[in-house]
Amino acid sequence: MQNAVSVEGLTKKFGNHAAVSQVSFKVKQGEIFGFLGSNGSGKSTTIRMLCGILTPTSGKGQVLGCDIYSQAEQIKQNIGYMSQRFSLYEELTVMENLEFYAGIYGLDRLQQKQRISQVIGLAGLDGREGFQARMLSGGWKQRLALGCALLHRPPLLFLDEPTAGVDPVSRRIFWEIIRYLSKSGITVFVTTHYMDEAELCDTIGFIHNGVLAAYGTTDNLKKEFGYQTLEDVFISLVGSQELNRVRALFDREGESRKGGS
């Protein structure tokens, strides 16, 4: 199986600060790759380099067989991207947003009609075509954003915290769509803070302070670190020091109250 993404020693510095340092991993075609880490860990910077938006400071990388340095524009044309913040046009209707992005992707009239119909069905937006985007709930907005990202049938889809702030039912439906896309051959590169979602990924990469702390299948990572859940693996990698600090603080306060009673 070929790789949709392959990076080696990927590094991005802003001045003297290394936001991403010597990151290496591969994402196979058709798999769901979960990229996990705390806020500010380097996830979004990595994604922006892979999408051809940021030029790396050093390292190697290919996305869909294209070099991330010399073929950034070609990468942009062949990927889908959806951010954690709703980035469509609030005053336009669902249909108007879809038609606008279909035009941006250069689809002809026949392609627009066919693909808009397909994504409306996939995202369950039937009956909401005339709703202004601002009238939609968070979950429906995210489905619309996903539909717009899929209009040009990209073989690789980047989803940056796509279910942040949506209700459990909407999250479950969204992930049913993601799994369907993967089964149909689309590679999905997703970031999330929900560990139940991470469990649905084929391969996981944990990034902490710009460094790839762990990489592998969900089962192998749990075996490697000796935990039953990915949440425990996540905490052991990126949050154990802070968690222990807070516990120690509470223990000291408890002892202080006992001594004063």
Instruction: Encode pLDDT of 64-101 as tens digits.
Output: 999 999 999 999 999 999 986 667 889 999 999 999 99
pLDDT at 237: 81
pLDDT at 1: 62
What's CA 111's distance to the chain center, in Å? Answer: 27
> Which 3 state secondary structure label does DSSP give 235?
helix
Question: CA angle, 3 as apex, 158 and 214 as ends, to 5°?
Answer: 70
143 and 125 Cβ atoms separated by less than 8 Å = yes
pLDDT at 257: 65
pLDDT at residue 261 above 70?
A: no
Cα–Cα distance measured from residue 212 to residue 88, given in angstroms and rounded to the nearest whole number: 32
**Burial zone of 147 (CB within 10 Å; 0-12 exposed, 13-18 middle, 19+ buried):** buried
Q: What is the count of structural domains for the chain?
A: 1
**CATH number for the domain harbouring residue 221:** 3.40.50.300
How does pLDDT run across 202-239, given as a tens digit for each residue?
999 999 999 999 999 999 999 999 999 998 898 888 76
Structural domain that includes position 43 = 3-260
Cα–Cα distance measured from residue 12 to residue 55, given in angstroms and rounded to the nearest whole number: 8
Q: What is the CA radius of gyration of the chain?
A: 21
pLDDT at 87: 73
How does pLDDT run across 169-179, given as a tens digit for each residue?
888 998 999 99
Tokens of 2: 């070929």
